[in-house]
Amino acid sequence: MESAVEFDLEVNQNKFLRVGGRELHAVLSVTGRGLAAEDDTPARSDPSRLVEVLVIDCSGSMADPPTKMAAAQHAASAAINVLPDGVRFAVIQGTHEAALVYPPTRTLATASSATRKEARAAVARLGASGGTAMGSWLAAAHDLLPPSSTINHVLLLTDGINEHETEDALERVLRSCAGRFVCDPRGIGEGWHPPDLLRIAAALNGAAEAVRRPAELAASFRESVLAALTKLLPDVRIRVRTMPYAQVVFFKQTNPVIQDLTEYAERVDERTWEFATGSWGVERRDYHLCLRVEAPDDILERDRLAARVDLVVDGEVRATPAKVLVNWTVEMAKSSRIDLSVSQVTGQEDVRQAINAGCDALDRGDRIEAHAQLARAVALATATRDEAALEQLRHLVDIEPNGLVRLRENLSQTDIKVSIVDSVQNPLQPPVPRVPAVADKICDVCLETSPAGSESCEACGHPFGGGQTPGVPV
């Protein structure tokens, strides 16, 4: 199925830095394009390559109020109902430990009318007791999964804080699971902890969500499973290879979900980073790369390669390499120019920080600071025409036609927590107009660039071979 997706990789940036400038920003846009079959129908994965594991919080707090457990059972049944025949699946009950509730043996069931019925019956028997240890739940899901050639998805629901295991224990599990499966965590009620959901989602390339009302949970579960069914590749990695005078500061996904992927990067060597991005289908995602660069000499007004970016599937480069360039200049008009793509993602980050600061202030009862931060978020979102952020903010504030912002009265803990999680959602914005890049060549040996028609590297003299895409230097 790898041939069912082709990728395009683009870079947008302002390559010019003032003399002495050290921080370089670029936005990477990755687009997966589906290859239609002979009858023009979109490519789909063989259901036997797909694995779905449902992890349901059954701790004691799920019984208060009872509507939470009822909603969880209904949502799990709704998710099971949309599994096509052939998909392998399981249901895990999460308390202070993990227990496999379906199938009865430590294997995966294969979806059929009979197994879906059995699984729904097992879900209906779930009860609430015990504590919360999400790391043990994720470890149990990991142990069920087949080899990495499958497309693995875990949907985890919780209503509480991860209080029955240490932070270090959860971190160890997250690192062992990173790259093995995608996990979409979901929150329900008022007792869950937003940082727990966001941490799991970032480590496991998923999307965190929460519901304001238990009745909304079934739709959230169905949407998560249906989205997983559209994936065609189990894992796509972005490899960043820097020049000796450049270092990675951070690497963040900015669309469709804002996530900092830096912490869970794999360091291939001192100059090469690989970032797992999870399973892929026909979609587009954007990433923000920040580099710290040091001018290697006093030569100005010359393009230099700061980093090369490759898209890698099963160790194979799957798109034309992209280049992040740097050019130190004395011309302020060049170095002061703001790239539209970079300004958009930095603006979104500013809005998110203001929303979170406002929610934190609400949580500690400081309505004056909350109003100031949320009013700032409204102003930033309005200036950047970020309609998604404004829609999220309307759950916390009333926005008058004249721009006046008022805090809503009687905000619940659910409203505050859901708003923190929703602040990282970023529905795809219209693409920024792009200027086609010149197709320069990248040298295998020194990673410097040369004009497209060059037969050898202008920097070191190494000959270019037969038009092949160069590999990553050792």
* 101, 108, 224, 343 from 135: Cα distances, Å: 18, 20, 21, 37
Per DSSP, what are the bridge partners of residue 250?
A: 290
Q: What is the pLDDT of residue 441?
A: 63
Domains of the chain: 2-39+233-331 (2.60.40.3670), 48-228 (3.40.50.410), 341-422 (1.20.120.1690)
Q: Is 178 exposed, middle or buried (0-12, 13-18, 19+ CB in 10 A)?
A: buried
DSSP class of residue 429 equals P
Helix then strand count (H, E) for the chain reads 11, 23
Q: What is the pLDDT of residue 29?
A: 96
Per DSSP, what are the bridge partners of residue 18?
A: 329
- Dihedral Cα 65, 69, 75, 81, nearest 10 deg: -150
Task: Give the integer Cα–Cα distance in Å for 1 and 12.
Answer: 30
- Other C-beta atoms within 10 Å of 64: how many? 13
DSSP 342-382: HHHHHHHHHHHHHHHHHHHHHHTT-HHHHHHHHHHHHHHHH
pLDDT tens digits, the chain, 474 residues: what are they? 445 789 999 999 999 999 999 999 999 999 999 876 554 555 567 899 999 999 999 999 999 999 999 999 999 999 999 999 999 999 999 999 999 999 998 899 999 999 999 999 999 999 999 999 999 999 999 999 987 689 999 999 999 899 899 999 999 999 999 999 999 999 999 999 999 999 999 999 999 999 999 999 999 999 999 999 999 999 999 999 999 999 999 999 999 999 999 999 999 999 999 999 999 999 999 999 999 999 999 999 999 999 999 999 988 999 999 999 999 999 999 998 888 889 888 888 899 999 999 999 998 999 999 999 999 999 999 988 888 889 889 999 999 988 899 999 989 999 999 999 988 887 654 433 333 333 456 676 666 555 556 677 766 778 876 443 333 222
Task: Give the integer Cα–Cα distance in Å for 473 and 446.
Answer: 8
Answer whether 377's CB lies under 8 Å from 354's CB: yes
Task: Give the integer Cα–Cα distance in Å for 293 and 328.
Answer: 10
Answer whether 464's CB lies under 8 Å from 439's CB: no
Half-sphere exposure of 128 (CA within 13 A, CB side): 19
Q: What is the pLDDT of residue 471?
A: 31
- Dihedral Cα 428, 280, 154, 413, nearest 10 deg: -10
